[in-house]
Structure 1
Amino acid sequence: MSDLLAARSQMAMSLAFHIVFACIGIGMPLLMVISEGLWLKTKNNVYLVLAKKWAKGTAIMFAVGAVSGTVLSFELGLLWPQFMLHAGPIIGMPFSLEGFAFFLEAIFLGIYLYGWDRVKPKVHWFSGIMVMLSGMFSGIFVVMANAWMNSPVGFEFVDGKFTQIDPYAAMFNPLAWNYALHMTLAAFVSVAFVVAGIHAFVLLKKPHSEFHYCALKIALYVGIVTAILQPISGDLTAKNTAVHQPAKLAAMEAHWETEKGASLNIGGWPDEEKEQTIYAIKIPYLLSFLAFGKFNAEVKGLKEFPKENRPPVAVVHIAFQIMVGCGTFLMFLGVLAAYFFIRKQAINDKRWFLKLLVLAAPLGFIATEAGWTVTEVGRQPWVIYNIMRTSEAVTDMPNLVVPFIVFTILYIFLFVMVVYLMRLYVMNSYED
């Protein structure tokens, strides 16, 4: 394994691990706030107990997420010093704001966890809202920095140096709001359906449990809204990608020839040697319409770009198909749940639907991991799109495979411990 591949693999593993906890830090506070708000309105103690139990689970995930996030910040400097040397002054502002938001989240989470009997109920509820907002903005600021790597603006690049830096333009780059919206919705969708799946599993055994039915309804209300909005935000992101990263779009769709009225490939396997996609279901004109809003719009193909500037097509295309497939199924479940709620039908009596929710529980996180694969691998071979190659940003330190192996073992251990602790917590907490 080359040092470059080891560095990229370590970063990918760290990010894949951390993103789960980042999503939970964004999504769970919303569920807590809704539950406590319902308690303040109805005085039904079920909502109070539910908010407290969700808060404890959130605290466990927050602690692990804080550690894994700290590791990522160190890896940026240690593994990619050339990137940080040049990009640091440009994207330092969103990273600094992310740190500020993280500290706010930690402070208000402390108030929320230990202030139940120490502050007034509405003040306590406000602290939960602040946990939700600070966690959400913490994620948004990081995504803005990542969006800059995909659509770099706010500087002049002269003789290999970044000059005339405008940190505001860099922070609010062309992809910033699309990426931020898409990632935030992904966090809400992922958390909502995991929580729905957990409580649906218990309802299969205890179909008349008020506690679990209330929890399921709150999770599904969030899941319905966000799962339906997510494809809309994805469409906006894809349209911006078509303009700012045409090579990534071509890899996402495994689209080889530049043509008007381009077909959309559903499934299929990209053969990068023969430069064609086999076994795909093709829908004529749809890619042009989805990318540019016109059925006859021209879409650039991968052959338009030198081979050394193309991303790994198979990885990006398959990951994109997984993301879209998972998101589509969750949207279907959201629409189905909305239909039941509108018709005032009891979901706890529909065992087949509860089983679907259990099976679908991990799909949001699978889609999120696949989406980040599309974003990061689809940008290759660039760490700053069309400015700096990933190979130019990596450290000169040799034997990077050693820390990669060490961190892999560490993350596997942490993963096993988190699963064990959460299994014990769920078993002990959700017995009513």
Structure 2
Amino acid sequence: MDDFLAARLQMAFSLGFHIVFACIGMVMPFFMTVAHFYWLKTKKIVYRDITKAWSKGVAIFFATGAVSGTVLSFELGLLWPKFMEHAGPIFGMPFSLEGTAFFIEAIALGFYLYGWNKINPWFHWATGVVVGISGLASGILVVAANAWMNSPAGFDYIDGQYLNIDPVKAMFNEAWFSQSLHMCVAAFVSTGFAVAGVHALMILKGKNIQFHSKAFKIAAVFATVAACLQPISGDISAKDVAKRQPEKLAAMEAHFHTERNAPLIIGGIPDTAARKVDYAIKIPGLLSFMATGDFNGEVKGLDQVPKDEQPPVAVTHYAFQIMVGLGMAMVLLAILYFVALWKKKQWLNSNWLLKLFVVATPLGFIALEAGWTVTEVGRQPWIIRGVMRTADAVTPMPGIAYSFYLFTAVYISLSIIVSLLLYRQISMVGKLYDSTSDQSKSFL
């Protein structure tokens, strides 16, 4: 394995793990505070116990997210020193602000975890809200930094020099809003379906029905509402990509030829040599409409992009298809759940609906990883689009392959530890909560 490939794989692997920890850490505090709100309003102990159980999960993912995020910060300097040398002064502001949000989140989480029966109940609840808001702000700021790599702004690039630097303009680049919106909604979708799926499984096993039913409903509502909002954020993001990164859109759709009335391609196997897509379903004009708002609008194809600047088509296309396909599957499940809530309440007690949520448990995170692959692979061969190539930013230090193996082992170990901790928490709920009564034993 050459060092360039090892550096890219290490970054991809690290981001792939961190994005899961980060998204759960961003979203779970909101689930936690909703359960806490119900506890304060109703005084039903089941909501208190849900809150305490979820707060343990928040603490676990806060810690793992902090560790994996810190590793990523070191990796930027270790693997891409040329990139950090030039980009650091430009897009460093969102990272600095993210650090501030992280400290606020840590302080608020400390108040929340140790504030039970020690501080005013509503102030205690408010600290949980601050945990959620600051965590969400951290995610937005990090995505804003990544958006800058897709849409560089806030500097003039003249004769190889980065001049007239404006960090504020760099942070609020043209891509930050669409990427942040799409990412935040995706975090709620993926975490919501994962949490709802776990509780649905516990209900199917007949364990602690009352506890898991209440927890399932909170998570399922978040997941299904977010799933229905995701296509809207996706449309905003797709239109933005069509405007700023037409080569990425072309790779996403395996759109080889510039044309009007461009068809939307569903599925298919891209043949880059023959510049065509085999076995695809094509809907005439729909890609033009989605990209431009006009069924006869022109969509730029890869034929207008120099060959050495074209993204890898197959990986980008397959990842995009997976993201969209799984996203639509979750939208359909969301519609079924809304029908059950409003019209067919008997469905809520049916095993088939719960089984669908169990099947959907990993779908959000698979779609999340696929979407991140589209974002990163679709930008290649650039690390800063149009300014610096990824190959020019990699470290000249030899032996990166060994670093890749080491960091891979660390992340796999971290994932195993987190899984065991979460399994232990779920098991403790199963042993210590009495579902036949509205009273429970505090297990925290």
> Could you say which TM-score interval applies, normalised by the shorter chain?
over 0.9
Question: Which ranges of structure 1 fall in alignment gaps of 5 or more residues?
Answer: none
SS across alignment from 2:265: strand
How is 1:227-306 mapped onto 2 (pairs within 5 angstroms)?
Answer: 227-306=227-306
Give 1:165's aligned residue.
165
Give 2:179's aligned residue.
179
Q: Is the 8 A contact 1:109 1:131 kept in 2?
A: yes
TM-score with structure 2 setting the length:
0.95
Tell me, in whole angstroms, the C-alpha distance in 2 between the residues paired with 1:428 and 1:347.
29
Give 1:417's aligned residue.
417
Give 1:198's aligned residue.
198
Q: Is the 8 A contact 1:208 1:348 kept in 2?
A: no
CA RMSD of aligned residues (A): 1.2
Tell me, in whole angstroms, the C-alpha distance in 1 between the residues paired with 2:52 and 2:119.
15
Distance 1:52 1:208, change over 3 A: closer
Tell me, in whole angstroms, the C-alpha distance in 1 between the residues paired with 2:338 and 2:32.
21
Deviation at 1:346, TM superposition (A): 4.7
Give 1:395's aligned residue.
395
Give 1:313's aligned residue.
313
Q: Is the 8 A contact 2:189 2:226 kept in 1?
A: yes
Count of equivalent residues: 432
Deviation at 1:417, TM superposition (A): 2.1
Deviation at 1:341, TM superposition (A): 1.1
Is 1:151 aligned with 2:151?
Answer: yes
Deviation at 1:413, TM superposition (A): 1.9
Which one-letter code corresponds to 2:219 in the other structure? A
Give 1:112's aligned residue.
112
Q: Deviations over 1:85-131 (max 9, x none)?
A: 11111111100000111111111111111111211110110000000
Tell me, in whole angstroms, the C-alpha distance in 1 between the residues paired with 2:348 and 2:225.
20
Q: Is the 8 A contact 2:341 2:348 kept in 1?
A: no
Deviation at 1:285, TM superposition (A): 0.4
Q: Is the 8 A contact 2:208 2:430 kept in 1?
A: no
Deviation at 1:206, TM superposition (A): 2.1
Give 2:442's aligned residue.
none
How is 1:48-87 mapped onto 2 (pairs within 5 angstroms)?
Answer: 48-87=48-87
Deviation at 1:207, TM superposition (A): 7.9
Which one-letter code corresponds to 1:135 in the other structure? G
Q: Deviations over 1:192-242 (max 9, x none)?
A: 111110110011122882211111110111112111101100110000000
Give 1:45's aligned residue.
45
Deviation at 1:188, TM superposition (A): 0.8
SS across alignment from 1:386: coil
SS across alignment from 2:154: coil
Which one-letter code corresponds to 1:121 in the other structure? P
Give 1:367's aligned residue.
367
Distance 1:430 1:61, change over 3 A: farther
Give 1:131's aligned residue.
131
Give 2:329's aligned residue.
329
Tell me, in whole angstroms, the C-alpha distance in 2 between the residues paired with 1:114 and 1:3.
46
Which one-letter code corresponds to 2:213 in the other structure? Y
Tell me, in whole angstroms, the C-alpha distance in 2 between the residues paired with 1:218 and 1:35.
8
Give 2:438's aligned residue.
none
Give 2:383's aligned residue.
383
Tell me, in whole angstroms, the C-alpha distance in 1 between the residues paired with 2:346 and 2:429.
24
Deviation at 1:408, TM superposition (A): 1.3
Question: Which ranges of structure 2 fall in alignment gaps of 5 or more residues?
Answer: 434-444
